[in-house]
Amino acid sequence: MSQKGILIVISGFSGAGKGTLMKKLVAEYDNYALSISMTTRQPREGEVNGREYFFVTKEEFEERIAEDGMIEYAGYCGNYYGTPRAYVEQQLENGKDVILEIEIQGAHKVKEKYPDALLMFVMPPSAQELYRRLKGRGTETEEVILKRMTRAVEESEGIDTYDYIVVNDTLEDCIGQINAIVDAAHNTPDNNEEFIDTIKKELKELLKGDLK
C-alpha cells in the first residue's frame, strides 16, 4: 500500500526534550522528514540556510503569505517565523511523515488547514524533572528558567486541545509512543481509500465470476 504521509505537529514545554527527540526520529526512521521553518531574522553564527531555517527578507516572506504559501506563521520580536507549504506538501505526497515543531497557536492553525494532522504534546514525566532538566543545561540564568516554567504553566492549559500526549521519560520509550501513534494514523480508512476500494472491486468481480 503506497500512502501519503501523515502531518505531525510536535509541541511541548521548553526542556521537555523535543529537539533531541526529533533528531533521533529523523536519524533512525526513514519515514520521517523534518519541516524547515522560514524566518526573516538574521542567521546566527553557525546556522546554515536550509538547515536551521530558510532565511529570507521581509519582502520575500510577505510575498509567500500573499500567495498562500505558508501553512502557518507568526511575528515574534519584530521577525516573521513560519512553515512554508510547498516543502511539506511535496514530502507528504512522497509518503513521508512530516514533523513540524511549533507552538500551540501554530499547531491550531495547522489543524484548521489539515484536520488529519496529528497534534502531539511532549510532556516531561513530572514538573520537578522539567525543572531539573532546565537547570541541568547549565546555560540558563535562574530568571530565564523562571520564565520558561511560567510559560510551561500557560502552555499546560492547552494540552487538552492536542490529539495525543507523549511522555519523554526515556528517549526510547517516547519514540516508541510517537511511532505507535503515527503507525495507527496510517491505519485509518481515510488513509487507505485506495486499498479499500481495490478490495471492494475485487470482491465484486470474484462474485460476478461466481468465484472462478
Beta-strand pair 38-39/79-84:
antiparallel
2, 128, 139, 141: residue in contact with a second copy (rule CB under 8 A): 128
CB of 113 to a second copy, least distance (A): 22
Q: Which residues in the 152-211 window bind a second copy by CB under 8 A?
A: 152-153, 156-157, 159-160, 162-167, 176-177, 179-181, 183-185, 187-189, 192, 195-196, 198-200, 202-207, 210-211
39, 130, 168, 175: residue in contact with a second copy (rule CB under 8 A): 130
For the record, the C-alpha cell of 210 comes out as: 461466481
CB of 183 to a second copy, least distance (A): 4
Beta-bridge partner residues of 146: none
Is residue 117 a contact residue for a second copy (CB under 8 A)?
no
Determine contact, residues 126/13, Cβ cutoff 8 Å.
Answer: no
* Chain positions contacting a second copy, by CB under 8 A: 1, 121, 123-124, 126-128, 130-131, 142, 145-146, 149-150, 152-153, 156-157, 159-160, 162-167, 176-177, 179-181, 183-185, 187-189, 192, 195-196, 198-200, 202-207, 210-211
